[in-house]
Amino acid sequence: MWKIDLKDTRIELQSTYNRIELKKEKLQKARPLPISALSKIKEAISIEWTYNSNSIEGNSLTLRETQMVLQEGITVKGKPLREHFEAHNHNKAIEFLYKLLDTDKKIKAADILSLHALVLRSIEDDFAGRLRYGAVRISGANFVPPSAHKVPDLFDELIAFVNANPLQLNDVELATVFHHKFVWIHPFFDGNGRTVRLAMNLFLMQKGYPPAIILKNDRKKYYDALNSANKGNYDKLLLLIAQAIERTLNIYLSALPGNDADYDSIQNLVNEERLPYGQEYISLLARRGKIDAYKEGGVWYTSEKAVKNYIQKRKRQR
């Protein structure tokens, strides 16, 4: 069994977990969502998911270019053919993932291998959908992945761990541990990052959450968080993934009739003197998950209500 202790982190992030669960329940109660609204959201999120996941791995297509490649079938001049394949492949993997949601509620090795096969299709067909059989090293990482002969057993052990959840972790914690341990095992020669972000979201979506999209702008933060997790400290990775989940929940909830969320950029809220604190402090609260906030294009958004709720909570704790 994986030896993991998240008790202190759970206390620190409890308010974030509570917000996520409340938003998830609100979304569940609103289902089924209007078909037209749901279709548009799914399409936009799939493009954003493909763009960000590929960009983290070095793909140079912009969000607009990714959209044109996927929706209009355009070949972007000056961009490598591989990058076009990466966009199409990732989108096909998302389509396959949605089909898996209708079949089973458990993570299966065969499904992850199928996702990986789609990710590397027409790029590295010899490795697509196959566990690695040789050693690998990861540039910039503070660890060396286990030897290839250990990979099949570790891979199966991780999947069994997620499905059994012997440590009784909550969904966000379990998704985060799965994400990290998958990266640590590094089961494939290539495509590990894209595949683990797909597989993690398969787990989350089976549990009723929308996909968590790790943003390109958070690439350095993401890798730093993974390196911290390699040392047994999951704080950064848990917060990053929790915030990614909450951001997508906000996108879905914003489409609901009667939605009363009033998010604005922290800078605007401060400039309009609607908040009692300065921009730097509010931004710090947002980054640490202390208030209901989300990130878009490098800018943090929150609401007057979220900050006032935080103030009231602090007063009750004194």
Which active-site residues does the annotation give? Answer: 186
Residue among 28, 16, 19 at smallest CA distance from 209: 28
Q: Is the dihedral of CA 307, 313, 315, 318 positive or negative?
A: negative
Helix axes 81-100, 192-206, angle to 10 degrees: 20
H-type helices in 57-170, by residue range? 63-67, 81-100, 109-119, 151-164
CA distances from 190 to 178, 193, 289 (A): 18, 8, 33
Whether 237 contacts 180, CB under 8 Å: yes
Cα(212)–Cα(147) distance, integer angstroms: 30
> How far apart, in Å, do the first and last CA atoms of the chain sit?
40
Report helix, strand or coil for 278. coil
Whether 179 contacts 193, CB under 8 Å: no
φ, ψ at 265 (rounded to 5°): -65, 145
CA 206 to chain centre: 14
